[in-house]
């Protein structure tokens, strides 16, 4: 099977800065892959190379089997791109912008106009179609931008931070549009700093830091990698904590921690909700009172923090080191 996107060993320097340090990437047809990483980790550079806007210093990449350096025209036939910053013209109306993009794709005037109408309707912009986009809200501009990138019916779509700056409702709307495109068979590579966005949309997540892939997998796989599910229990009487911990030993998939002062017990488990039912039953049999019991799954935020040593949306420079990985970081 031909992969929709394949990259091997992509390296890119900007002067002294090594923006990409050997990126490999495989994206299957019809899937959404989320490129996740802090500011300056190389997300946009990767997207620009894959969409033929930038040549790598070394390494290769193909889109639908066509090499991005050797055969950029064939690649451009297949792709659509919504950049991190708006590409639409401020002084034109929404409709004029889409018609212009249509003409750039060599559609006839009539076809460009029909395609513009169709996309305006699809993105809920019909009412605003004949207004200058200077007056559009951020969400409307992002939708217009996405509409423009769909003019040529791309089979592979690159979305560079498609929802940055949008309010939660507009973001949700954008997610629905992306999900629709994927259900129609479009392959999507999206970059994002929002972990919940990757969680919601992406079947595979690739985490970049300083131009290298530092982890990849499904959201669940990445979460398991940082520790998996755990049950957190507060017993009513803290003197029962140790006894409770011992009684629950058979449910644990790793070391149980008990705190005899607070009466808190943390049990790593697999099989989440089944384990919580068993835990309640065991404690009940032991007549140990439960003040609180909860299943806690690591979030992608936990993953990100543990992998990169800093939370998202925080400049790398000001991040405080919180894991041992910090030592091997730094540009080279
Ligand atoms: N045209 C350029 N000239 C010089 N340096 C660049 C250029 N483009 C990117 N860089 C540098 O390359 C590195 C990677 O940048 P890139 O834009 O790919 O990161 P990013 O992950 O998209 O970040 P952000 O989350 O801020 O969009 C950064 O150190 C950046 O400063
Ligand atoms: Mg970027």
> Could you tell me if the CB of 37 is within 6 A of ligand 1?
yes
Q: Whose CA is nearest to atom 27 of ligand 1?
A: 39
Structure tokens at 142: 């992002």
> Could you tell me if the CB of 44 is within 6 A of ligand 1?
yes
Instruction: Round the average pLDDT of the chain to a whole number and report it.
Output: 87
Q: Identify the weakest region by mean pLDDT among 129-138, 239-248, 285-294, 313-322.
A: 313-322
> Could you tell me if the CB of 56 is within 6 A of ligand 1?
no
pLDDT tens-digit map of 171-184: 888 898 899 999 99
> Could you tell me if the CB of 41 is within 6 A of ligand 1?
yes
Contact 303, 255 (CB under 8 A): no
| pLDDT reading at 233 higher than 70 | yes
Element (H, E) at 109: helix 109-122
Q: Which residue reads 């008990």 in tokens?
A: 258
Walk across the sheet containing 66-67 and list its strands: 17-27, 5-14, 58-63, 66-67
Please report, for the chain, the start and end positions of each structural domain, with discontinuous segments joined by +. Answer: 5-224, 229-296
- What is the distance in A from the centroid of ligand 1 to the CA of 38? 11
Q: How confident is the model at residue 274 (pLDDT cuts 50, 70, 90)?
A: confident
Q: Whose CA is nearest to atom 29 of ligand 1?
A: 40
Which ligand 1 atom is the nearest neighbour of the CA of 20?
14
CA dihedral 206, 210, 211, 212 (to 10 degrees): -50
Q: Whose CA is nearest to atom 26 of ligand 1?
A: 39
Q: How confident is the model at residue 109 (pLDDT cuts 50, 70, 90)?
A: very high
Is 229-296 in CATH node 1.10.3720.10?
no
The topology (CATH level 3) of 5-224 is Rossmann fold (3.40.50)
Q: Whose CA is nearest to atom 31 of ligand 1?
A: 40
Average pLDDT of 291-307? 82
Residue 312's pLDDT is 55
- What is the distance in A from the centroid of ligand 2 to the CA of 84? 6
Q: The whole model's pTM is what? A: 0.78
In whole angstroms, give the CA distance from residue 283 to residue 193: 41
Structure tokens at 237: 């009487």
In whole angstroms, give the CA distance from residue 191 to residue 205: 10
| pLDDT reading at 53 higher than 50 | yes
> Could you tell me if the CB of 45 is within 6 A of ligand 1?
yes
Q: What angle do CA 260, 264, 267 make, to 5 degrees?
A: 115
- What is the distance in A from the centroid of ligand 1 to the CA of 140? 26
Average pLDDT of 14-26? 96
């Amino acid at each position: 099977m031909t992969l929709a996107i394949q990259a091997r060993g992509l390296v890119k320097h900007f002067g002294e800065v090594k923006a990409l340090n050997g990126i490999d990437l495989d994206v299957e047809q019809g899937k959404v892959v989320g490129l996740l990483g802090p500011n300056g980790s190389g997300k946009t550079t990767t997207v620009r190379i894959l969409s033929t806007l930038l040549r790598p210093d070394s390494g290769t990449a193909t889109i639908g089997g066509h090499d991005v350096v050797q055969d950029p025209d064939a690649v451009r036939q297949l792709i659509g791109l919504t950049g991190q910053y708006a590409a639409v013209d401020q002084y034109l109306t929404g409709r004029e912008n889409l018609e212009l993009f249509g003409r750039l794709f060599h559609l006839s005037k009539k076809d460009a106009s029909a395609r513009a109408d169709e996309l305006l309707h699809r993105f809920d912009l019909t009412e605003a179609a004949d207004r200058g986009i200077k007056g559009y809200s951020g969400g409307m501009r992002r939708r217009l931008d996405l509409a423009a990138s769909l003019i040529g019916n791309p089979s592979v779509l690159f979305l560079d931070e498609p929802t940055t700056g949008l309010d939660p409702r507009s973001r949700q709307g954008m997610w629905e549009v992306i999900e629709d495109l994927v259900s129609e068979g479009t392959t999507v590579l999206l970059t994002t700093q929002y972990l919940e966005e990757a969680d919601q949309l992406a079947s595979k997540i690739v985490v970049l830091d300083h131009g290298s892939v530092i982890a990849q997998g499904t959201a669940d796989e990445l979460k398991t990698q940082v520790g998996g599910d755990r049950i957190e229990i507060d017993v009513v009487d803290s003197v029962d904590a140790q006894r409770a911990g011992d009684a629950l030993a058979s449910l644990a998939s790793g070391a149980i921690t008990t705190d005899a002062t607070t009466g808190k017990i943390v049990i790593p488990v697999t099989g989440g909700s089944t384990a919580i039912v068993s835990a309640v039953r065991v404690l009940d049999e032991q007549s140990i009172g439960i003040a609180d019991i909860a299943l806690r799954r690591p979030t992608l935020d936990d993953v990100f923090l543990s992998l990169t040593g800093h939370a998202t949306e925080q400049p790398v420079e000001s991040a405080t080191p919180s894991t041992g990985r910090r030592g091997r970081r730094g540009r080279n």
